[in-house]
Amino acid sequence: AQSVTQLDSHVSVSEGTPVLLRCNYSSSYSPSLFWYVQHPNKGLQLLLKYTSAATLVKGINGFEAEFKKSETSFHLTKPSAHMSDAAEYFCVVSALNTNAGKSTFGDGTTLTVKP
């Protein structure tokens, strides 16, 4: 069984300040972890993924995430928020042993960036 919990449904930051979106997961097997971003009226776009090669993963648009097995966390960060970062963010877990590699989505975190 696997699950994902995004700890904040809404996060608001000022432009130029750091962003932290929190994600905890549970999985019976070695998980694969992803962050996706969804802009209004758009589909989800891959930001980054954890591949087990490195615990610190760099993604697009300056985002990165750190896999911490001991804390079962995969938090998303960005040093300096930009107005264009305002969107919905989803943390996703999948594992090889799940049926057909189906993914489990968190409920999403809405990021607001204030000028």
Partner 1 sequence: DAGITQSPRYKITETGRQVTLMCHQTWSHSYMFWYRQDLGHGLRLIYYSAAADITDKGEVPDGYVVSRSKTENFPLTLESATRSQTSVYFCASSDLSSYNSPLHFGNGTRLTVT
Q: Does residue 106 touch partner 1 according to CB under 8 A?
A: yes
Q: Binding of partner 1 at residue 108 (CB under 8 A)?
A: yes
Reading phi first (left if > 0) and then psi (alpha if -120 to 50, else beta), residue 85 is in alpha
C-alpha neighbours within 13 Å on the C-beta side of residue 8? 15
Tell me the closest approach of the beta carbon of residue 37 to partner 1, in angstroms: 11
Toward partner 1, which CB reaches closer, 29 or 114?
29
Q: Which of 28, 45, 61, 112: binder of partner 1 (CB under 8 A)?
A: 45
- Indicate the DSSP class of residue 111: E
Rule CB under 8 A: which residues touch partner 1? 32, 34, 36, 41-46, 49-52, 90, 92, 94-96, 99-103, 105-108
